[in-house]
Amino acid sequence: MSKRVGIVGAGVTPFKGTWREKTFYELAQMATREAVKDARIEIRDVDAAFYGIYNDIFERTAIPEHAIHGLLGMQNKFGIRITTGGATGAYTMSAAHAYLAAGRFKTALVLGVEKATDCFDFSSMSATPEVIKSIGWSGDSFFEQPIGWSASDSYAEVVLGYMDEHPGDLKPEITARISAQLSQQVRGNTYAQRQFDQVTPEEVMNSRLVVYPFKELEICVYSEGAAALILAEEETAEAISGNTGIPVIWITGVGEANEHSFAGKNQKDMSRIMSDYYASHRAYEMAGIKEPTKSIDIVELHDAFVHQLEMSMAEFGLVPLGKADSLIEDGLMMPGGRYLVNPCGGLIYCGHAVGASNIMSAWSARNELIRRDLKTALVHGTGSTIAQYTACMVFEHG
């Protein structure tokens, strides 16, 4: 019989465009220190480490976890690294959950860290071209990468496919209002890269076009930072909670799915993010959720692009396909609405330190469940070409 697993500690570093004064070793140590402090345990009490680090080229090393394992005090213990594109953090949490539920360990560190702008282009004296090129190596390196594939045009393919199927949805004025709302929500997140970068819907609509239909203020930002969780099996989690006085946030559902990487018959449906659909519904099934619209209170989702945020909410079954604009038109994610969506500001305003991003989302979901005394959250990570990979988790308070 599998064991219940819960979150008993969490910590994040500030997310920044560039951490010039810190290496990724130091960022990893900072987040880990905060997580074990939050759980009121010592690092020696942690049985295993699960590292979410997306991109070797960002970190300038092929095995970036090998150095931080000992520096964190985890020498001679289990350690494994996960990399699944933008879904790295979510898959890392999923892996840790599986080991704990199986009884292999009593406690685990889940750590995500990324140092994207160490990846520098000296011809332009800017990080951006090299970062984009490095992400390009995540795609099809034989055909797409040599002709300039990028994450933005990859996601745009899926969004345009959806818009062909549902031409009245994802209206520019709605995506602009969502971005503006996220910019207001981030004001309360002192760790966010863009905490004081509030924008109006008009400013969003008038920002420059990057790849149709994405405007500059509808896109996540490159970030550097780290986020960490302490997970524990039931008996240990309850003992830690009794010591800290902080409720355990239980992981009651987990689901994953990886789609085909090429479009076509029996391959990738370009009008859907089926990985989001399958992963979320598998998580619901495990958690015993039959009506997500009545059960989910908080959604911390991977919003690489606002349009994809809307599509993901539809794939989760929280709004109808083809009517994702109801998030704003029916007030579902407006202040006081049915869903609290990305209260941390999401990846667009808090930041997207890839391996750490979904773990940061979990940190935020845990905080909000406890602070607002709400019951259930859905945490989501997606990534790779054309939104190919997804992992989802259901968190429950109490």
- Sequence spans of domains, the chain: 5-120+222-244
Q: How far is CA 15 from CA 163, 356, 360, 372, in A?
A: 33, 10, 10, 24
Furthest C-alpha separation in the chain: 57
Share of the chain above pLDDT 70, in %: 100
Q: What counts of helices (H) and strands (E) characterise the chain?
A: 15, 12
Give the pLDDT confidence of 299-346 residue by residue, as tens digits: 999 999 999 999 999 999 999 999 999 999 999 999 999 999 999 999
Residues 6+ apart with CB under 8 A from 196: 187
Tens of pLDDT, residues 136-164: 778 788 887 787 778 888 899 999 999 99
- The residues, ordered by sequence, that sit 6+ positions from 182 with a Cβ below 8 Å of its Cβ are 303, 306, 342, 345, 346, 348, 349
Question: Residue 102 to residues 78, 99, 252, 264: CA-CA distances in angstroms?
Answer: 15, 5, 14, 38
The HSE-up count of residue 340 (CA atoms within 13 Å, CB side) is 21
pTM of the entire predicted model: 0.96
Radius of gyration of the chain (CA): 20
pLDDT (0 to 100) of residue 167: 97
Sites in the chain below the pLDDT cut of 70:
none
Angle between helices 354-372 and 88-101 (to 10 degrees): 70
> Which residues on adjacent β-strands are paired with residue 258?
389
Instruction: List CB contacts of 75: < 8 A, sequence separation 6 or more.
Output: 69
pLDDT value of position 144: 78
CATH 3.40.47.10 fits 5-120+222-244, yes or no: yes
